[in-house]
Amino acid sequence: MKYVLLLAALVTACATKETKTIGSIERIDAGLDNLISKDASIEILGEGFTWSEGPVWVEKENMLLFSDVPENVIYKWTEEKGVVPYLTPSGFTGTETTSREPGSNGLVLHNDSLILCQHGDRRIARMNSSLDNPIANFSTVASTYEGKRFSSPNDAVFKSNGDLFFTDPPYGLGQQNDDPEKEQPQNGVYRVSSTGIVSLLVDSLTRPNGIIFLPGEKKFIVANSDPEKAIWYEFELNDKDSVQQGRIFYNATSYVGTEKGLPDGLKADKNGNIFASGPGGIWIFNQTGTVLGKIKIPEATANCALSPDEKTLYITSDMYLLRLRMRD
């Protein structure tokens, strides 16, 4: 299979001592100096993937996991061994699919379990094995709303009370527009309560994708991966976790086409600074929406993950896995 050949190439690359770098840092606001040192560079940790996505740092195992969505594989990166296959299949467990992106996309940890957004199986699933002994056996967390299947759950985030918020665009279907297999009338943002009840929170976005909470968990941000509405939206929750209002956090539509990429995955640090993939790489905002700077990457960038100490940012960008040591 393709991932076996890719592994050989990755092992060869990791065997060299030379550190390959890519891209640059664009400093727009002085506040960026508090986040990224002026001598920081973007390292290439692995390359040759079809479309890398969904990175998550697993502190207990000191490893990074990420998806190659079209290849239906999850990879593991460690400092000692570099990139190696971790789990396959990751998002489609059947025998035949028309999807161009059947694998897992967003990955998230909860109670020492790996939770996967599975495009091909059209569900949120839990891996039924320990993190240090992965097995492609899954149980369903959520697969339907009002009796209709999801299209292709894309990204997810847990609230501290155990509720799971996730997005469901059509990217994992065989056709993104007017696919006869699409059952949900909207491309929605959903919540799965800790007791398993699925609720629709937002039905107005054209291509909901990445999702994060801001500190305090009263607000969440959703990236809209639509070239005609390339917008990050902010939504405010009431005391019952229903959306009470929404607003445009930042509109990047004018940048589409000038540089590769769209609003996609994003992460927030403990101070509310936001690292968001968008046109040209990773955009860095403070929580009021001021652009502090950009991590400029020449390929379309999908997502990112912070290390536990928030000093390192791991980035999935098309065929690359990247690392930015932001500060000492």
Q: What pLDDT shows up at residue 8?
A: 40
In tens, the pLDDT along 177-209 reads 788 999 999 999 999 999 999 999 999 999 999
- For residue 307, pLDDT beyond 90: yes
Which ranges constitute the DSSP H helices of 2-59? 2-15
Give the Cα separation of 180 and 230 in Å (integer): 26
Q: Which token pair is 273?
A: 């600074």
Q: Among 98, 92, 301, which residue's Cα sits nearest to residue 182?
A: 98
Give the Cα separation of 273 and 292 in Å (integer): 9
Q: Which token pair is 220?
A: 């969440």
In tens, the pLDDT along 51-96 reads 999 999 999 999 999 999 999 999 999 999 999 999 999 999 999 9
> Residues 150, 73, 131, 309: is their CA dihedral positive or negative?
negative
Please give the mean pLDDT across all residues of the chain.
94
Q: 15 pLDDT band (50/70/90 cuts)?
A: very low
pTM listed for this prediction: 0.93
The set of residues, in sequence order, having a beta carbon less than 8 Å from that of 190 and lying 6+ positions away, is: 142, 145, 150, 165, 166, 167, 168, 198, 199, 200, 201
Give the Cα separation of 155 and 263 in Å (integer): 13
Domain layout of the chain by residue ranges: 2-325
Tell me whether residue 98 is exposed, middle or buried, using C-beta atoms within 10 angstroms of its C-beta: 0 to 12, 13 to 18, 19 or more: exposed
Is the domain spanning 2-325 CATH 2.120.10.30? The answer is yes
The b/e string for 280-292 (b: 16+ C-beta within 10 A; e otherwise) is: bbbbbbbbeeebb
In tens, the pLDDT along 106-163 reads 999 999 999 999 999 999 999 999 999 999 999 999 999 999 999 999 999 999 999 9
